[in-house]
Amino acid sequence: MKGKTVVITGASRGIGAAAARTFVAEGARVALLARSAGQIESLVSELGTAAIGFGCDVSDWASVRDAMDVVKARFGGIDVLINNAGVVDPIARLADADPADWGRTQDINLKGVFHGMKAVIPVMRAQGRGTIITVSSGAAVRALEGWSAYCASKAGALMLTQAAHLEEGAHGIRVLGLSPGTVATEMQVKIKASGVNPISQLAWEDHIPPEWPARALVWMCGDAADEWLGRDVSLRDEGIRRAVGLIA
């Protein structure tokens, strides 16, 4: 990753913040995007000159397009996009879900991925290379009570991964997803508090640390992950954990 430019959405905490630290440790330059620029100021300060950060609402096309233009101007290109921004709200059964809240989840989790892809594909085409990784979920292929908004958005994002691979693979753009399993982040606190479906019943120690998916994201930028192009890598798979170096 030395000298590569990596854009991470939803970078202020959780997997996004852990990924920022891991990519910088591997020699990359990172652009950290979050809805509030103030949320990432301390992380940018921690990472030093290898990092820049600014506000970006992934649900808004103009915001994403402008952010990518800034990154390209600053670093000269974009080698990797990590589509990480996502929300689990509303946790509610279909009959009880607020339509506006339900739609907002699609704006962030699904349209946000589309916006990121659309913004970086021309840059990566011109370079003749690039990697786009979307943080996916087992919810993309498994319905869970109270999670209709989240499951639908992640299923759609997985289809975007497949479509982008089909359309852009020939242009040297690698597109794949990471299904990390349950991760010890703020999202799990919300899930636990909801008391809805079996995921909310898991103990905190059942979740993997965010550093694990962060390390997996770095590994996925290399040729070793080419077997999974156009689909999700599952971090539940012991073989993947071993390949990433998380277990012996």
DSSP-derived pairing of the beta strands 5-9 and 80-83? parallel
Q: Calculate ∠ Cα 106-129-58, nearest 5°.
A: 20
3-state secondary structure of 67: helix
77 is catalytic: no
The structure tokens listed for 74 are 């600053």
d(CA 173, CA 19): 21
d(CA 70, CA 46): 21
Q: Which of 30, 150, 173, 180 is catalytic?
A: 150
Residue 111 class from Cβ within 10 Å (0-12 exposed, 13-18 middle, 19+ buried)?
buried
d(CA 184, CA 205): 8
Residue 92 class from Cβ within 10 Å (0-12 exposed, 13-18 middle, 19+ buried)?
middle
Q: Would you please indicate which residues are annotated as catalytic (active-site) residues?
A: 150
